[in-house]
C-alpha cells in the first residue's frame, strides 16, 4: 500500500517514498526492495505508488519526454503522463474486475485509488511538484485528479494506501500540529511517514528520500540496491503480461495541506478542513 510524500517551501523540496510492494489479492509482502523514487532528468524525480509496471511506463514516458523535447519542465511531462497512463489503467481495471478479493473490489468500485505519482522538479524556473492520482468514477471509467504547487509557502502532498480512519486521523494530526509548519522541512515527512509506517503493515522497507534546492539534488536516504545514475529507458510491458506475476503497492488516498487548509481524498470521497469548518 506504500506511500509517497512531497513537501515544498521557498526553494527547497523533499520527496520521500518507502520500498515495500505487496501482492494484490492477499496484501502480503512481496518485496522490501521496490524502486519507487526514479531519476527522470537533472534535478527531476518521480515518486510512484501503484502497479509497478504502470510506474515503469510512467518513468519511461517522462524520460522520453525529457529527452525528445530537451525539457525538464514537470508540467509539460505531467500532461503527457496523464494521457499515456490511461490505456494501461483501463487494461488493469478490466483484469481487476475478474478478481474476487476485497482489495480488487475496492479499486473497481472507486473506494481506492489505482495509481498515484508525485513529479518533483521545476516549471518555468520555479521549483515545485505535480501530483496525479487515478481512480474509478461512478460510471466505471478511469478519472484523474491533478494537483500542483510552485509557491513559496510550505505545502505538502501525500499518497498512501493506509486505511481510511488511520489516514484521516494522522493527516488531521499532521495538519493541526504547529510544528508541521515551523520545524525544519526534512523533519515533517520523516515524522509523518514513520508514524504511518508503524500502524500500516504494507508500508515498509528502507526509505528513498531526495532533496531538491537551489544547489541541485541531494540524496538523503538511498538504499544500497537503488540505482543512482541514469539508466536506459525500460521496455513498458503490458498489463496482461505482468498482472499475475507482479505485485502491487496500491494507493488508497491522498492528502494535500498547507497551514490554512487540509483536504483528504480517499477513492471517490473527499473531506476538506479549513478555518471556516469542514466540507465533505
Identify the pLDDT of residue 241.
40
Identify the pLDDT of residue 266.
60
State whether residue 204 is helix, strand or coil: coil
Q: Which tens digits make up the pLDDT trace of 50-60?
A: 888 888 989 99
3-state helix, strand, coil in the chain (%, to 5): 30, 35, 35
Residue 162: name the closest of 89, 248, 100, 254 by CA: 254
Residue 17: name the closest of 126, 119, 170, 155 by CA: 119
Give the DSSP H/E element, type plus range, for residue 220.
strand 216-221
- d(C-alpha 263, C-alpha 256), whole Å: 5
- d(C-alpha 168, C-alpha 26), whole Å: 24
Query: Would you say the C-alpha torsion 237, 78, 250, 180 has a positive or negative sign?
Result: positive
State whether residue 152 is helix, strand or coil: coil
Grid cell at residue 253: 488516498
- d(C-alpha 101, C-alpha 114), whole Å: 15
pLDDT < 50 stretches in the chain:
229-249, 268-280
Mean pLDDT computed over every residue of the chain: 84
Identify the pLDDT of residue 264.
79
Amino acid at each position: 500500500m506504500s506511500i509517497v510524500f512531497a513537501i515544498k517551501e521557498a526553494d527547497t523540496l523533499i520527496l520521500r517514498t518507502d520500498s515495500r510492494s505487496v501482492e494484490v489479492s492477499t496484501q502480503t509482502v512481496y518485496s522490501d526492495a521496490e524502486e519507487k523514487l526514479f531519476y527522470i532528468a537533472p534535478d527531476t524525480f518521480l515518486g510512484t505508488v501503484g502497479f509497478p509496471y504502470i510506474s515503469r511506463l510512467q518513468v519511461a514516458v517522462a524520460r522520453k519526454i525529457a529527452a525528445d523535447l530537451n525539457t525538464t519542465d514537470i508540467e509539460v511531462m505531467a500532461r503527457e503522463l496523464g494521457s499515456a497512463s490511461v490505456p494501461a489503467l483501463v487494461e488493469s481495471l478490466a483484469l481487476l474486475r475478474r478478481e474476487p478479493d476485497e482489495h480488487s473490489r475496492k479499486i473497481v468500485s472507486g473506494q481506492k485509488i489505482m495509481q498515484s505519482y508525485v513529479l518533483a522538479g521545476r516549471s518555468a524556473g520555479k521549483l515545485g511538484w505535480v501530483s496525479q492520482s487515478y481512480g474509478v468514477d461512478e460510471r466505471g471509467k478511469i478519472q484523474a485528479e491533478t494537483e500542483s504547487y510552485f509557491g513559496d509557502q510550505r505545502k505538502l502532498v501525500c499518497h498512501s494506501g493506509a486505511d481510511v480512519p488511520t489516514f484521516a486521523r494522522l493527516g488531521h494530526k499532521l495538519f493541526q500540529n504547529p510544528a508541521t509548519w515551523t520545524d525544519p522541512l526534512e523533519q515533517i515527512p520523516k515524522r509523518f511517514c514513520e508514524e504511518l509506517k508503524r500502524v500500516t503493515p504494507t508500508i515498509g522497507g528502507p526509505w528513498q528520500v531526495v532533496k531538491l534546492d537551489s544547489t541541485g539534488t541531494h540524496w538523503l536516504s538511498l538504499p544500497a540496491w537503488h540505482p543512482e545514475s541514469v539508466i536506459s529507458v525500460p521496455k513498458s510491458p503490458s498489463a496482461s503480461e505482468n498482472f499475475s506475476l507482479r505485485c502491487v503497492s496500491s494507493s488508497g488516498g491522498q492528502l494535500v495541506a498547507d497551514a490554512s487548509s487540509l483536504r483528504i481524498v480517499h477513492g471517490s470521497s473527499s473531506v476538506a478542513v479549513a478555518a471556516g469548518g469542514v466540507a465533505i
